[in-house]
Structure 1
Amino acid sequence: MARHYGMDWLRIGAFACLILYHVGMVFVPWGFHVKEHPTVDWMTIPMLAVSPWRLTLLFVVSGYASRALLRRWRGPATFAWRRSVRLLVPLAFAVVVVVPPQPWVELVTQHGYPRGFGHFWLHDFFRFGHVAGIGLPAWNHLWFVGYLWTYTVALALLAALPRPPQLQRWFDRLFGGIGAVLLPLGWLLATQVIVFRRWTDSQDVINDGVAHLAYFPAFLFGFALARSDRVMTAIVRWHRSAGIAALAAWGVAVARELVWPGGATPPSHFVDLLVWSRQVHCWGAIVALIGFAEIHLNRDHPWRATLTEAVFPFYIIHQTAIVLAFYLLMPFALSTELEFLALVTATVAACWLFYLGGREIPWARPLIGLRPRLPRSREPAIASVPTL
């Protein structure tokens, strides 16, 4: 398999959007670990532009990368073991060390928790219970890694089963035309709207079955897409139309914010329209972005390898950096504009420090999601396939 630089750039861009999205969560009226008061209602409009598709796209890209990894390691067992190490070691480290400041700040700022962080970490974080309604211990934003590991194990089990040799050909035929747009969209509408009605995720890998019905097929779609020039060609052909449909669906969400601001409840028929349009927005944007990446971004750049490697460490640390930066900025009572810029600057700086510092310490590399550093003579000539 040739490396698809466009998918690398798409992954990098998606995680950059995720950082900005989580900074935005501080300011909008939606629930988050820290909150600006008063909230900035208009910021929900750009947030709604990325909310429906950001996570599903990451699962598609992760499935795409998994195809190359499975091929490289030549066996489902080796694939499952190596991916488990790459995902579970940093997940465990982050849950124990990186995540705890988030619920502590949330308890202090929103629930009047009187104890310092040391007492909280030693006595409350690992209690396997609730403090002020917050379940502890928590994995917070790292739920994505847990879901991805679950799908990785499921993929390894599927790859170990006997399967028809023409399976890839069936995928090419089904999705090699307008089916690349309509079939996944039909699946999302059926599972997320018609049979069930899902607005968000529970972030509980055991009890989030409806979300798995969206994310795991997206992961498998990316896996199959990695070996299908025919389906990629279809995506390129239809990506503009899909993008227009996504923009129209976003317009429905914007109309809801403008006509019923401040949390007002729209009529039931408009709520139904919102649920349907959210899925159109989701898959339409994903097709548009993959098509754009195939046409315009499938080329290398000196920064690509570094940014590709940095994505997982950035993801691990970014939300804790946002929460702590906001907590430290609270006494200064900055304007909304200055606070937003300060949060973005502090978060990006913390991400780079976490990555650049951790990658130079051999024992820390696996903890932040990086491969152990090989002797120079054994390093591969081609940069590693993305971790997530």
Structure 2
Amino acid sequence: METQRRHDIDWLRVIAIGLLLIYHIAIIFQPWAMFIGFIRSDELLEGLWKPMTMLNVWRIPLLFYVSGMGLYFAMRKRNWKQLLMERTKRILLPFVFGFVAITTLHMFIFQKYYNLPLGYYPHAGHLWFLGNIFAYVVLLMPLFFYLKKNEHGRFKKGLSFIMSYGAGPLLISIFFILEALVVKPQPFAMYAQTWHGFFLGLLAFLFGFLFVYSGKTFWQTVLKWRWLYIGVAAILYGIRYLEFATEAPGYLMAIESNCWIFGVFGLGYKYLNRPSKILSYLSQAAYPVYIIHMFVLYAGAMLILPMAIPVFLKFIAITAFTVIMSYLIYEFILRRIAFLRPLFGLKWTSKKFENSKLHSPDIKLE
């Protein structure tokens, strides 16, 4: 199996989580924020939602694709028992801990902000993504190990042949279209704790694995045709924006989503597939920051929204607060306290060992 580290995939994971932070902060300034459990600003920035509607059809599916790709690399030197144990430690443990101890924190802040009775309410919250990923690992592991065992067989050769054509990657959109037609999501971007989110994520996770499994052909194709994919996606977004008030029929949004993602894969493969110390640090920090960012964001909203400053400055201030405080919590608490590390998806190693490993040129994507 392929062993070369893919720095572009690391970067895409980091970028997607960064976009997630901005997306969640933008929700605070929308009129419907409270309906999904967010603190809401009295002053709104509804104009922020227009660019967000372009992002929201592909940012979460992109993470599912990347997670499937990551599993391919994690299988290189592991049998199924080792893989299941490793994924249990890295995904299930943070999910269970977050369910009972982390997501409750931003609920407490929400209750405090609105002077509601304080109550303990364990829930998946934004960590639903981890629950889905672990379920996909369990469901698809037999298929993936079968494919690994037969990596020189006809299926891989046929898959590589299909992926050599510009229309090859787009063919998988048929499965996403069928999902949208059967499940009928309303709205399309309602992924959290829905059957739509589960089945769409399952498809993206599966095909993310298969894209890497197929070899370099897929990457050469998305590199060559990246601007075509982005152009098609932009046209579909324009139609969605002008004709459907940003919520087009699900089958069109499924195609748009994959076109954005394939274009992003092509751009990443061209410009981001190179090592850097910044990437080494951020790729380690991204997962813990994803876990903690919601209660940090809510704390920033509680402190900043009452201030007598222009609303756009509030948006900037909450963004800065979330980024800085998440970094400080990660760098000086989660990264340095050994027993906390595995609870936030980090390996149980000393900081000295971690630093030496981060800067090793041989580390591979997992």
Q: TM-score, normalised by structure 2?
A: 0.88
- For residue 46 of structure 1, the aligned residue among 51, 54, 68 is 51
What's 2:198 paired with? 212
Deviation at residue 382 of structure 1 after TM alignment? 4.5
Q: Aligned partners of 1:288, 1:191: CA distance in 2, in Å?
A: 22
Q: Aligned partners of 1:340, 1:8: CA distance in 2, in Å?
A: 28
- For residue 368 of structure 1, the aligned residue among 320, 344, 357 is 344
Deviations 1:233-279 (A, max 9, x none): 1111221111011112222343268xx6xxxxxxxxx96x4434322
> Any residues of structure 2 matched to 1:1-388 within 5 Å, and which?
1-31=3-33, 32=36, 33-73=38-78, 75-109=79-113, 113-115=116-118, 120-121=119-120, 125=121, 137-161=122-146, 165-192=153-180, 194-198=181-185, 199-201=188-190, 203-204=192-193, 208-227=194-213, 228-255=215-242, 273-357=248-332, 358-373=334-349, 376=353, 381-382=360-361, 385=364
What's 1:266 paired with? none
Q: Aligned partners of 1:233, 1:212: CA distance in 2, in Å?
A: 29
Deviations 1:116-150 (A, max 9, x none): xxxx23xxx2xxxxxxxxxxx21111111111111
Residues 97 and 384 of structure 1: CA distance in aligned 2, closer, same or farther (over 3 Å): farther
Segment drifting more, 294-303 vs 178-187: 178-187
Task: Check the 8 A contact 2:5/2:363 in 1, yes or no.
Answer: no
Deviations 1:201-220 (A, max 9, x none): 4633xxx4333332112112
Deviations 1:67-106 (A, max 9, x none): 1111132x11111111111112222222222211222333
Deviations 1:265-301 (A, max 9, x none): xxxxx96x44343223211110000000111111111
Q: Aligned partners of 2:252, 2:210: CA distance in 1, in Å?
A: 26
Aligned length: 351
Q: Aligned partners of 1:340, 1:378: CA distance in 2, in Å?
A: 34
Q: Aligned partners of 2:338, 2:273: CA distance in 1, in Å?
A: 32
Q: Aligned partners of 2:176, 2:216: CA distance in 1, in Å?
A: 24
Secondary structure in 2 matching 1:177: coil
Residues 28 and 376 of structure 1: CA distance in aligned 2, closer, same or farther (over 3 Å): closer
Task: Check the 8 A contact 2:183/2:195 in 1, yes or no.
Answer: no
Q: Aligned partners of 1:377, 1:55: CA distance in 2, in Å?
A: 29
Secondary structure in 1 matching 2:197: helix
Aligned-residue Cα RMSD (Å) equals: 2.5
Deviation at residue 53 of structure 1 after TM alignment? 0.1
Task: Check the 8 A contact 1:61/1:219 in 2, yes or no.
Answer: yes
Residues 212 and 169 of structure 1: CA distance in aligned 2, closer, same or farther (over 3 Å): farther
**Partner amino acid, structure 1, of 2:225:** W
Deviation at residue 369 of structure 1 after TM alignment? 1.2
Q: TM-score, normalised by structure 1?
A: 0.83
Residues 366 and 329 of structure 1: CA distance in aligned 2, closer, same or farther (over 3 Å): same
The unaligned stretches of length 5 or more in structure 2 are none
Residues 150 and 383 of structure 1: CA distance in aligned 2, closer, same or farther (over 3 Å): farther
